[in-house]
Amino acid sequence: MRPLEMPRAVMQTAAVVLSLAGILLGAAGRLDWPMAWAFLGVYVGFAVLAFVALDPALIRERSRPGAPSERWDIRLASVAFTFFLPLTLLVAGLDVGRFGWSPPLPSWVEIGALGLFTGGYAFAFWAMRVNRFFSTFVRIQTERGHRVVSEGPYACVRHPGYAGAILAALALPVALGSLLALLPASVGAALFALRTLREDRMLQARLDGYRAYARRVRWRLLPGVL
């Protein structure tokens, strides 16, 4: 990475973290919410780990994706992410912190759901660690020598990053104690699943070797199901 690109990536990540914390705690109107801080701690932990463990070239690609990206994917990914985190956190904050729309959940349920969230995020992070072409938006990265990656979690499913993100999206509302927040989270998860379908078609059409890989690894998200 060029000298100024790592600080830029750090600042972008910090801005996202602060924005999400502001949405969640601002909507709740309170700071004494242990599961909110636990979620933020996990999120920050993975953000820090990314700067330690990921290929610097991938960090650059994810912070400033090269052109051309697929325009449909930019729109779809942006809407999916909005439902996955900002809207889910907004609804959870209003629900748990202010209005109590959802019935209280046992602590062990929330802690177990946080474990699932962490596991889903870790699975997605593993995919990112293995796949140096794990860009923010779908594109064929010709200038980076884009090739098919079939190691690690990619030996089980073709889109492990999305699989982990979907698990994390559905577990997060329960971890925060808000069943109502499952509504935006489910929309985000469905959009991620739709994104895998469109991305898979594009890769089969445009990335050398991907069709053969898709014949070897049949499942996109969940072995034996999808």
Closest-CA residue to 91 (of 179, 21, 19): 179
d(CA 179, CA 185): 10
Q: Would 143 be classed as within a structural domain?
A: yes
Tell me the two tokens of residue 85. Answer: 């985190």
Q: Classify residue 111: in a domain, yes or no.
A: yes
Domain count of the chain?
Answer: 1
Q: Is residue 150 part of a domain?
A: yes
**Tens-digit pLDDT profile for residues 115-156:** 999 999 999 999 999 999 999 888 899 888 999 999 999 999
Packing angle between helix 160-175 and helix 34-53, nearest 10 degrees? 160
Burial class (CB in 10 A: 0-12, 13-18, 19+), 103: exposed
Residues 6+ apart with CB under 8 A from 22: none
Residue 27 lies in a domain: yes
In a domain, 113, yes or no: yes
* Domain extent for 195: 5-216
Give the pLDDT of residue 225: 84
Each residue's pLDDT expressed in tens, for the chain with a length of 226 residues: 454 567 788 888 999 999 999 999 999 999 999 999 999 999 999 999 999 999 988 988 888 776 666 788 889 999 999 999 999 999 999 999 999 999 999 999 999 999 999 999 999 999 999 999 999 888 899 888 999 999 999 999 999 999 999 999 999 999 999 999 999 999 999 999 999 999 999 999 999 999 999 999 999 999 988 8
Specify if 205 maps to a domain: yes
- Predicted model pTM: 0.92
Does residue 226 belong to any structural domain of this protein?
Answer: no
Residue 224 belongs to some domain of the structure: no
Whichever domain contains 18, its CATH number is 1.20.120.1630
